[in-house]
Amino acid sequence: MKSNKLSLRILAVVFLMAFLNPFQARGQEKLVESYQAAVWFGVRDVNRDSFPNTENLDFLNYLYSDSEMSDYQYLGVSLHLCLRGNWEADIKFAMYDDFAPNNFSFSALYFPFKHIGFNAGFFSYPQLMNEFNMFHRLTDAGYYGDIDNNFRQRYVYESGIMAGPVFRFDYHSFHAFIKLNGGMSSISTFKEKVNQKEINTNKRREIRYSTKASPAFFFFPEAEFNIDLYKGAKTTVGLQALASWYTVSRSIDYTRITYTWEYDEEVNEDIINPKHGFKKVEASLGLYFRW
């Protein structure tokens, strides 16, 4: 929720600044030489390792992944600023069907050469984690694995900082960027609770999970292709296509406290889970306006 509010504020400020153009100093060279705003529709497919159940709940087994269709669809807006002195800035926001702009990435690009530059930035996007309580329902024989009968679902946010080389190609109306990003990311920490009752007895148990930060190195190449469809005196309209691939290997480790009968009867454990391979492929198509 906090992340949503923050994203909305950043989004509002960025677009306000862009349209009011406060960087244009009087009598001096423009700080922002050109703008490119875009709207696009994208799909995201997630592929993660799924391991057999062990004695410990592995939350990464419950990251949402659908083998039959793309896992997420989103609507995005972006702003690309070409700044003075070979600098560029790229700001992207996207939202799922809940219309919360909680997918975002910011990056700064510097081009010391015509076709080669450097990129650095950060990103964050949410993923669904569904029915992790099924672990307890399946493995805790003799117990009602989770007395909460609701569909248990939560968002986890993957956030990271990235940097890498950028290659740019321009040929008439065709423009392309290829970014070879790498960096470090982590999944947001969270707390969950599972209440259990032994079948045919009075015995009750409460299991509390508190996850730890899960920093891991990732590789994240991106490609962006733009084709100018209409060129006016000051404005250009074109078609934009983006594709990216993201790969990381990480585990979600946590502290587990198990209370049995009463809250002063507790067992505290630190659980280290195996690393899961995680891959994300994204593709999007949209329109851009450059001025």
Partner 1 sequence: MKHYLRILAIISIAFSIRVLQSCCSCGDEPIKFDFSSVIIKNLDNSGSYVTFTDANQMYSSAVAFEVSITGDMALVGNAMKDFSLASFAEANACECSTSYSPNQTIKDISITTLKQMSAETDSGMVVTSLFVTEVADGYLYEPLANAFERLNQEIYSDDPTAKLKIFCKENILNDTACFAVTVTLSDNTKITAETAKILLTASK
For partner 1, the binding residues (CB under 8 A) are: 144, 147, 195, 197-204, 206, 259, 261-263
- Number of Cβ within 10 Å of residue 199's Cβ equals 9
Q: How far is the CB of 190 from partner 1 (least distance, A)?
A: 19
End-to-end CA distance of the chain: 34
67 vs 202 by CB, closer to partner 1: 202
Q: How far is the CB of 201 from partner 1 (least distance, A)?
A: 4
Q: How far is the CB of 53 from partner 1 (least distance, A)?
A: 22
Q: How far is the CB of 131 from partner 1 (least distance, A)?
A: 17
The Cα 62–Cα 60 span in angstroms is: 5
205 vs 276 by CB, closer to partner 1: 205
208 vs 279 by CB, closer to partner 1: 208
162 vs 207 by CB, closer to partner 1: 207
143-144/153-171 β-pairing = unpaired
* DSSP calls for 17-73: HHHH-TT--TTS--SEEEEEEEEEEEEEEEEE--PPP-SS--GGGGB---SSS-SEE
Q: How far is the CB of 135 from partner 1 (least distance, A)?
A: 17
Taking alpha carbons only, the member of 71, 148, 84, 77 closest to residue 111 is: 84
| 117's tokens | 């530059």
145 vs 183 by CB, closer to partner 1: 145
Q: How far is the CB of 204 from partner 1 (least distance, A)?
A: 5
Facing residues of 7 across strands?
none
Taking alpha carbons only, the member of 194, 290, 156 closest to residue 233 is: 290
118 vs 259 by CB, closer to partner 1: 259
